[in-house]
Chains A and B, each alone.
Chain A
């Protein structure tokens, strides 16, 4: 049963610390998405990749956030330095075609920045 995996599932950190979230997309999927979900803003698309190349990261605060795909089995989202307003659930999803076709979401990383 193929699934998207994310680590860690929960992260509590202090303001100013670096946070790295990891995602393993489903094998064979060529598109990877990063989302942030909060009560106030809902589900926001931060960035997505096709064939490991960034297609769009316009939803991501560039000064502190960065997203990469070092290889086809790993996507990372890094926040440096973290701030309390970054507290949210961060989802990774993978699929076969951006904007067309099913996206498979991971379980999410719940980040709390104090």
Chain B
């Protein structure tokens, strides 16, 4: 069935290092969303990408949607301890369905 996979599953970085998580779908997506979940918290919406090849930035975060609309990435420049959490992508194939990725848990070491 449809799956949205994310890699890596876990990532430990020193504060100040960069971080990237990748999201891959087996089918073409209409759009993709990114969420962040802090430990003990609930997922919080970060951004949505719709167009092929789209790139969006939010301060130190850069989001990209692949040309084939099957993959996406989230890159954080110069991580801070406030970036700690699990990052999820959520992809929507044409139609009403959508799927959350498996998540990447980020630990930032001060």
Q: Give the B-binding residues of A (Cβ under 8 A).
A: 35, 42-45, 55-56, 91, 93, 98-108
Contact = CB atoms under 8 A, between A and B. Distances in A.
A56 B103 CA distance: 23
Given A42-B100, A45-B100, A104 B45 contact: yes
Interface in B62-110: 88, 90, 92, 95-100, 102-103
Given A42-B103, A43-B88, A43-B103, A98 B45 contact: no
Interface string B34-48: 010000011111001
B95 to A, nearest CB: 8
A interface majority secondary structure: strand
A81 B43 CA distance: 28
B44 A105 contact: yes
Interface size of B as a range? 20 to 34
Contacts, number: 48
A66 B72 CA distance: 34
Contacts of A104: 45
A43 B100 CA distance: 7
Contacts of A35: 100
Interface of B: 30-31, 33, 35, 41-45, 48, 88, 90, 92, 95-100, 102-103
26 contacts: A35-B100, A42-B103, A43-B88, A44-B100, A45-B100, A55-B96, A56-B96, A56-B97, A91-B42, A91-B43, A93-B43, A98-B98, A99-B31, A99-B97, A99-B98, A100-B31, A101-B48, A102-B33, A103-B33, A103-B35, A103-B90, A104-B45, A105-B43, A106-B42, A107-B41, A108-B42
